[in-house]
Chain A
Amino acid sequence: MRVKKKPSRFEMRVSVEREVLSAVNGKLGESAPLFGMTRAAMEQWHQKAAKSIGPGKAEEVYRILLEISRRAELLSDQSRDVFSEERIAPNDDKMLALLNEKLSSL
């Protein structure tokens, strides 16, 4: 039997980020695309989104993004993560549902 290799931290991070970016960019990809889940990338998105959907709504989505990123420990730019075997938490379904709900109300 072939044993499937455990995903690396990098692979897990990619999976978490793709899920969130697809949700945000599916709705706002034209006017305010999100490029990543680090604090710096999300702050840059926050500024663009404030112009596109208004500061109040942008702030609400930004707070959810920050919380998702904090829970999955994605906030800092750790380029050394690519070879790390440490685990990261998968996306929290409740937080993703909250994000999708907020995005669909825009």
Chain B
Amino acid sequence: MNQPSANILSIRVFGSQVRADADRMSDTDVLVIVDDHSGLAPEKEVLALLPKKYRSNANLSWYGRERIASMFREGHLFAWHLYHESVSIFERDLFFSSLGTPTPYPKAIEDIKSFIAVLGGIAPAIKSAPANVIYELGLLYVCARNIAMAASWHLNATPDFSRYSPFNLPLPIECLAFSKEEYECCMLARMASQRGSNPKSMSVEEAINLCSRVLRWGQQILNTIQAQRLCA
């Protein structure tokens, strides 16, 4: 195997490819950890180390040694994502293993509140700029998925980072205020915003209605976790 540049400490594939729920819409998330203040390494060097099937749709995320270490120390949700759902492509001196287990995720409620705040701004943004509806629906998807990922820390047996995390929360069915079809429409909108693919259309009225339902759902999840913590 070719040795990558000396500043590369770790290369890992994470996300849907590791969960084995990748589909034609999935890219390959690749984490590259480099030494602090050493700059990036040539992208083709990283790609050359990946199995061939991942090379054409690889999405590289570059992190410095200290940033990743601090995310593990602080119990960042992304550190847990890497801990649970990443596989090694290259490691220098067992760097990733040396990070150990992340601190328990302390900020679920804070993060959920932050996404609820973003959710609350989506309907007004659509009203003031209706032509941005696809972009805003993409944000709706990000908020719903991330609220569910953060909530899964408290509500599920193990944290759930999957694309359909809102549908895997152990809540009464009536709490889920949106359908899979509506959620997938928002997911396609996000892909259009990020990857330039074609979205599925939704009327402004439907989008505004969906926003209010997702917002209510987010608030219910927050209330459930807060009530659960009060009882604990």
Contact = CB atoms under 8 A, between A and B. Distances in A.
Interface of A: 5, 8, 10-11, 14, 17-18, 21-22, 25-26, 29-30, 33, 35-36, 38, 40-45, 76-80, 82-83
Contacts of B129: 18, 21-22, 25-26
Contacts of A14: 118, 121, 139
Contact of B194 (A18, A22, A36): A36
24 contacts: A10-B118, A11-B117, A14-B121, A18-B135, A21-B135, A22-B129, A22-B131, A26-B131, A33-B131, A35-B199, A36-B193, A36-B196, A38-B193, A40-B194, A40-B195, A41-B194, A41-B196, A44-B192, A44-B197, A77-B59, A77-B195, A79-B194, A82-B142, A83-B111
Nearest to B31: A80
Contact of B118 (A11, A35, A79): A11
A80 B76 CA distance: 11
5 closest Cβ contacts across the A-B interface?
A29-B131, A36-B193, A44-B196, A25-B131, A40-B196
> Which secondary structure dominates where chain B touches chain A?
helix
Interface in B124-150: 125, 128-132, 134-135, 138-139, 142, 146
B189 interface: yes
Contacts of A18: 125, 129, 132, 135
B114 interface: yes
Given A22-B132, A25-B132, A35-B135, A77 B114 contact: no
